Amino acid sequence: MMLHLLAEMAAHVPTAPTTTGPLHLNDDTVVLAQELVVPDPPPKPIPGLEEPVTEWLGYLKWACGIAAFIGLLCTAIMMGVGIRGRSDAAKWALGHAPWALGGAVLAGSAAALVAQVS
């Protein structure tokens, strides 16, 4: 009985012939056998904005370095304070140290990561 139902269902499944144009199986289904080509031009800076944007990116990169240094320094201070009788402070610092280090690594490697993707 089950094999009979499967055979009946398989008989109603449309198959796509090997043509190069669009194939209309019914009103709701369209199979495209052609490959869609999307243009992928290289990045191009906006005229007149290349120098100011590069300058601001340098400022932001510098600020990220300072923030990462301060974050790691604060984490080290909290670990030092938490050694004597304040174990919660040390636990808090160890919980936040990977985030500070991850932010520093991400800020330092952002340009290389974007260059690999684009």
pLDDT of residue 117: 82
* pTM exceeding 0.85: no
| 107: alpha, beta or left? (left if phi > 0; alpha if psi -120 to 50) | alpha
Residue type (1 letter), 105: V
pLDDT of residue 15: 54
- What are the tens digits of pLDDT across the range 81-90? 877 776 787 8
Nearest to 72 by CA among 108, 28, 25: 108
